[in-house]
Every structure is written in C-alpha cells, then in structure tokens.
Amino acid sequence: MTIPRKVAMKSAANGEAPTFRTGMIAIVGRPNVGKSTLLNAIVGSHVSITSRKPQTTRNRVLGVLTRPDAQYVFVDTPGLQHRHRNLMTRRMNSGVASALHGVDAVVMVVDAHGWQEGDDAVLRLLPKPRPAPIAADEPVSTPDAVADVRADGSSAPASRVILALSKTDALRDKGQLLPRIADAAARYPFAAIIPVSAARGWQIDDLLAGLRGLLPEGMPLFEADQITDRSVRFLAAELVREQVFRLMGDELPYGMAVTIERWAESPGRAVIDALILVERESQRAMVIGAGGRKLREIGVKARAGIERLLEKPVFLQTHVRVQPGWNRDARALDQLGIES
C-alpha cells in the first residue's frame, strides 16, 4: 500500500472543500453475473479478468477509483460457488465471506435476467439489515446493525448494500426491470437498487453516487493514479489464465491454473515464462491443441494484453504441465495466492 497523497478537493462551484469520502466496497454475487466486468468499467482498466465461464475470478482483487470528492476501493471477489466444492472452491467461498467483513459498503450483483437460487446464497452472507423500529419511542437493539444513526440526524440507510442489476443491455424487454426491482426489494432492504450495464457504461455514475453516500469521511488510502494492489506479475499470470478460460471448452477451467516461472524485465522489453498447470494428460493435449495451435493462440492473445499492461514489447513463452490434484493441495493453492 502506498503513502496517502492528498488529492484535489476544491469544489468548483463555491471554492469550498467538499467532504472527501474514502471506503472499501466489496463486490459480491454468484458466478458469472458480471462482477469483474463491472469493476473494470468502474476503474476504466482491465484489472480483473473476465470470461463467460464461472470461477473466472479466484483471488480477491482490488480496484481503486479516485475522484475529486471520493476514493472508492473495490474488492472484486470470486463468484459464490454451489458446486465443485474442493479445497480451492471452499477457500474461494470463505474469501467471499471474509471480504464482507470490515468493508464500508457492498455491491451485490444480480443478473437483470432474473433472481436465481445462487443469489439467495449470496443474500445469506450479507450483513443483517437494521430491524425496523417497532414503535417510535422504543429503543431498538441493533447488534448487527449495518447502518448508524447519523450525527446530523438524517435518516440512515437500512443497509450498506446496493444491488446492481447487471447486463441490462442484454435485456430484450426493458419492461421486465420494474417487477425485478420490486422482487429484489422484497428480499432485502437494499440501500438502492440500480440497473446497470458494465458493457455499455450505463448508470455506473448513479452506482458511484449511491456508494459515495455510504462511505465515511476520510483521506485517500491510495495514490490517485493507482488502480490496483496487484503486482504486474500477478496480472500477467491472470491475463494468460483469462485466455485459457476464453479459448477452451467447458471442462477445463476448474482444473487449470497459471504461474509465472521467469520474469526478466529491461527498459526495452520483458521476457516472461508462464506455466499452465492442468490436472490430467487429456487436458494438457486440449490446451496445446492440434499442432500446438491452441497454445499459440493463447500465447498471442495473452501477450497482447501483457504488452498493453507493461507498455513495452513482451516475449512470452507458455508451457503446460500436468500436476494432478493441485486444486486440493494447500501448498499449491498458497503458491497461487488462493488464500485460506
């Protein structure tokens, strides 16, 4: 983490410094609802990899957005899993639960196409909402309260959770939104329900405005130009894994991982060896493809992403190794940064 630096805080309208707010915001939801795409749209950079396949995000990834009046520190989390409960997915699930502790606000992402069973599991992890007062003069005991009574006496939100209904650009009938908003509102006292499209950038500013109201006053935690806490090495490994996810069939992802074996960087170029771990020989053959074509395609696309990241030419070598049971092996998971 870097030393906080003061960012511009003057309000153009009256010369007064507006209250600067800073806070941590967890992005949670079932797999594949568009959490990472939303984070990338918010911070305006590809900090978290995305694909059509569930389990794309495996580690918590920070994405930071600094505006003149607020710094939003988002924590992207893995999709909460129902199936494939091996050691890796158990760790991923507990990572989601722990990401919810100590944050100032939460964005729960639900696909606007409709509420599913997997969304209920996410709901159960959310902080308990503040119970409604029984009578005006009766004090309410709120040990799990997620909203404080504000010093200025204004009514506090019932919770610190905003629901983002995602992928609204893909909804054929936008008239479906209103009943879905009503349905979601009946399930949890969300501070706000905001239909968004990360793909089109729709209503991202409304989401940020809603979140700002939930953040405490405070100085920024990160430099204004810092957008993630992850190293370029981690991001490079993720960019390789993203291409494997995007270019392979449905069977593979749960059994593959990527590590960086060599990283030699000079001002003019970077030489990187990436190792793709798979569980079975058959998967190794699939990743390599006929005549090595698939692996070459993975390498070409990943290299383009890493070159954008490093802003210099990259020489990327990719290898594939069979390592049965790595995703049940605590040491291998530790090395991959999939924390317990």
Ligand X SMILES: Nc1nc2c(ncn2[C@@H]2O[C@H](COP(=O)(O)OP(=O)(O)OP(=O)(O)O)[C@@H](O)[C@H]2O)c(=O)[nH]1
Least Å distance, CB 245 to ligand X, is: 9
Of residues 125 and 158, the one with the C-beta less far from ligand X: 125
Residue 69 near residue 20 (C-beta atoms within 8 A): yes
Least Å distance, CB 88 to ligand X, is: 13
> Rounded to an integer, what distance in angstroms lies between the CA atom of residue 64 and that of residue 163?
20
Helices 293-310 & 232-247 angle (0-180, nearest 10): 150
Least Å distance, CB 114 to ligand X, is: 15
Q: Which residue is nearest to ligand X (CB)?
A: 79
Least Å distance, CB 238 to ligand X, is: 11
Kind and range of the H or E element at 195?
strand 192-195
Where along the sequence are the contacts to Mg ion (CB under 5 A)? 35-36, 56-57
Of residues 21 and 35, the one with the C-beta less far from ligand X: 35
Upper half-sphere CA count for residue 39 (Cβ side, 13 Å): 30
Least Å distance, CB 39 to Mg ion, is: 8
Least Å distance, CB 244 to Mg ion, is: 15
118 binds, among Mg ion, ligand X, none (CB under 5 to 8 A by kind): none
Of residues 59 and 168, the one with the C-beta less far from Mg ion: 59
Of residues 93 and 197, the one with the C-beta less far from ligand X: 197
159 binds, among ligand X, Mg ion, none (CB under 5 to 8 A by kind): none
Read off φ and ψ for residue 84, nearest 5 degrees: 55, 55
Of residues 79 and 95, the one with the C-beta less far from ligand X: 79
Of residues 236 and 295, the one with the C-beta less far from Mg ion: 236
**DSSP secondary structure letters along 249-288:** -SSSGGG-EEEEEEEEE-SS-EEEEEEEEESSHHHHHHHH
> Rounded to an integer, what distance in angstroms lies between the CA atom of residue 339 and that of residue 60?
9
Least Å distance, CB 300 to Mg ion, is: 23
Of residues 7 and 229, the one with the C-beta less far from ligand X: 229
Read off φ and ψ for residue 278, nearest 5 degrees: -130, 170
3-state secondary structure of 175: helix
Strand partners, 70: 21, 67
65 binds, among ligand X, Mg ion, none (CB under 5 to 8 A by kind): none
Geometric angle at alpha carbon 51, from 47 and 54, rounded to 5°: 110
Cβ count near 1 (within 10 Å): 9
Q: Which long-range contacts (CB under 8 A, 24 or more apart) does 121-125 make?
A: 121/30, 121/80, 121/82, 122/28, 122/29, 122/30, 122/80, 123/187, 123/188, 125/28, 125/80, 125/96, 125/97, 125/100
Least Å distance, CB 30 to ligand X, is: 7
Of residues 35 and 130, the one with the C-beta less far from Mg ion: 35
Distances from the Cα of 311 to the Cα of 272, 304, 340, angstroms: 14, 10, 34
Q: Which residue has the tokens 């696309």?
A: 301
Where along the sequence are the contacts to ligand X (CB under 6 A)? 29, 31-37, 50-52, 54-57, 78-79, 166-167, 169-170, 197-199
Cite the beta strand spans of 44-104 per DSSP E: 61-67, 70-76
